[in-house]
Amino acid sequence: MPRVLLPVGYLTRTRQRGPGPDTVVGMTPAESSTSRKSPVATPSVTDKLVSANRGYAGGFADPGMDAKPVLRVAVVACMDARLDLHAALGLELGDCHTIRNAGGVVTDDTIRSLTISQRALGTRSVVLIHHTDCGLLRITEEFRFELEAEVGQRPAWSVESFRDLDQDVRQSIRRVETSPFLLHTDDVRGFVFDVRTGLLREVSAEQITAGD
Ligand code: ZN
């Protein structure tokens, strides 16, 4: 059976693997000078993250915050690696909840997080962010059936793919506004982030799609 592949640029086509067993890399200068024949495993990406965390924690001071976001806002955005939410929106530690998934779509699980965000942690505003060149513009719901053909089981979840960014932002706004679980739906706004300019463009909730 053919393997299901996502479009180039959305997810990698093949799983990244570490170096082969005969590859000797990742030795520190000290190790390489004293034991050239002893292979040292290349640090995995997770190892690098853990190492970076040690540096982070070394300069970290307890900010003394509680868990309630200072700006009382929850941001729902795509998981895209080119979207640095805190930098793009001028957010600082403790300011907001960030809820991210493929597409930045409002699923049941997004509503779950927003409900907890509002009811347990006091947020009132919701900002929805899609972005240009999103991977979900390039796949379809057929992906679920392709998965079924490959693994013998169709996922219960929807792909939530979309063809029109603005229309999907509007749909996301409506899903938030019509959720019976949310306490605050009077300040819900949606945007498209341009990955090439870094600019946000607001999408009107009322705008009618004109075909492009
Ligand atoms: Zn995306």
Convert the pLDDT of each residue in 75-131 to its tens digit: 999 999 999 999 999 999 999 999 999 999 999 999 999 999 999 999 999 999 999
Q: Give the bridge partners for 78, in sequence order.
A: 101
pLDDT for the residue 6: 55
Q: Which fold has domain 73-203?
A: Beta-carbonic Anhydrase; Chain A (3.40.1050)
Place of tokens 């998934």: 101
Mean pLDDT is highest, among 25-34, 172-181, 198-207, for 172-181
d(CA 109, CA 97): 14
Q: Compute the distance from residue 45 Cα to the ligand 1 centre, in Å.
A: 22
Q: Compute the distance from residue 167 Cα to the ligand 1 centre, in Å.
A: 15
Q: Compute the distance from residue 5 Cα to the ligand 1 centre, in Å.
A: 17
Residues in contact with 159: Cβ distance below 8 Å, sequence separation at least 6, in sequence order? 136, 139, 140, 141, 143, 144
d(CA 142, CA 46): 33
Domain boundary assignment for the chain:
1-61, 73-203
Q: Compute the distance from residue 78 Cα to the ligand 1 centre, in Å.
A: 5
pTM recorded for the entire structure: 0.79
d(CA 144, CA 30): 50
